């Protein structure tokens, strides 16, 4: 009997972990589709579990979105820390920035959280040290190797990522990968002659693509 009591809680804990992951996966999808109009009831429906189960895990929508946002930040922090182990300073820096932009550009839920979550700045501050330290290391190595301008600062790296986020949001409906071209433009602006120039690809948007991207952005702004 004692052994049975010891074993009994384990499936419950495993179920709770699985349910939490199903909730987060459903919320990520709905956040991308509906933005802050997402509801916990809708999350329960997409996850295929009861509403009560969702509320046992998250007391409100903002708490759920906070956890999603922290998960996105953790991916970026892990990417920055991994990049510091690359022996090539220019490659390490550029690949980190590209990997971060991939996380943001490929995930509209992240973009929504960045744009609309009121306490996003607070959450960012909590993780600032973890994020800024490896970025500073990457930049310092690149400066010492003479592959980036000495005036470049860690905040410039964040600014580049922010600008690419905006480009990706506009061009995603017509050319989802087009942000890579403008990332190369930004990074080439900070490199020195000692670093290889990044190729500008994909091709620039055509006039038709640009007009369609503008129309799609205008349509999104008009949505209730």
Strand, helix or coil for residue 148: strand
Domain ranges in the chain are 1-59, 60-222
pLDDT tens readout for residues 170-220: 888 889 899 999 999 999 999 999 999 999 889 988 889 888 888 877 776
Domain 1-59 indexed as CATH 1.10.4100 = no
Predicted pLDDT of residue 213: 84
Q: What is the DSSP letter of 119?
A: T
Predicted pLDDT of residue 2: 47
Residue 118 has pLDDT above 60, yes or no: no
User: Angle at the Cα of 158 (from 157 to 160), degrees rounded to 5?
Assistant: 65
Residue 78 has pLDDT above 90, yes or no: yes
Q: How many CB atoms lie within 10 A of CB 153?
A: 11
- Residues 6 or more apart in contact with residue 221 via CB below 8 angstroms: none
**Residues forming a β-bridge with 148:** 191
- Residues 6 or more apart in contact with residue 18 via CB below 8 angstroms: none
**pTM assigned to the model:** 0.78
Give residue 4's pLDDT band: very low, low, confident or very high (50, 70, 90). Answer: very low
Residue 40 has pLDDT above 50, yes or no: yes
Give residue 122's pLDDT band: very low, low, confident or very high (50, 70, 90). Answer: low
Best CATH choice for the domain 60-222 from the list 3.30.720.200, 1.10.760.10, 3.30.1280.10, 1.10.357.10: 1.10.357.10
Residue 11 has pLDDT above 70, yes or no: no
pLDDT tens readout for residues 136-164: 999 999 999 999 999 999 999 989 988 89
Predicted pLDDT of residue 9: 43
């Amino acid at each position: 009997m004692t052994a049975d009591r010891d074993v009994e809680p384990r499936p419950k804990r495993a179920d709770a972990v699985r349910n939490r992951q199903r909730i987060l996966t459903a919320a990520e999808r709905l956040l991308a589709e509906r933005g802050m109009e997402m509801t916990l009831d809708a999350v329960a429906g997409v996850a295929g579990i009861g509403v009560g189960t969702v509320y046992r895990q998250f007391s409100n929508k903002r708490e759920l979105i906070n956890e999603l946002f922290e998960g996105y930040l953790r991916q970026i922090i892990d990417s920055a820390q991994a990049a510091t182990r690359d022996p090539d300073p220019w490659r390490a820096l550029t690949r980190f920035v590209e990997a971060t932009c991939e996380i943001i550009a490929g995930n509209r839920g992240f973009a929504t959280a960045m744009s609309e979550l009121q306490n996003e700045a607070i959450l960012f501050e909590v993780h600032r040290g973890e994020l800024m330290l490896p970025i500073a290391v990457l930049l310092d190595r690149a400066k010492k190797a003479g592959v980036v301008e000495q005036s470049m600062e860690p905040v410039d790296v964040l600014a580049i990522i922010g600008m690419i986020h905006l480009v990706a949001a506009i061009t995603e409906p017509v050319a989802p990968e087009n942000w890579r071209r403008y990332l190369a433009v930004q990074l080439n602006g900070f490199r020195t002659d000692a670093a290889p120039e990044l190729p500008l690809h994909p091709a620039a948007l055509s006039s038709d693509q640009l007009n369609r991207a503008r129309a799609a952005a205008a349509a999104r702004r008009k949505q209730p």
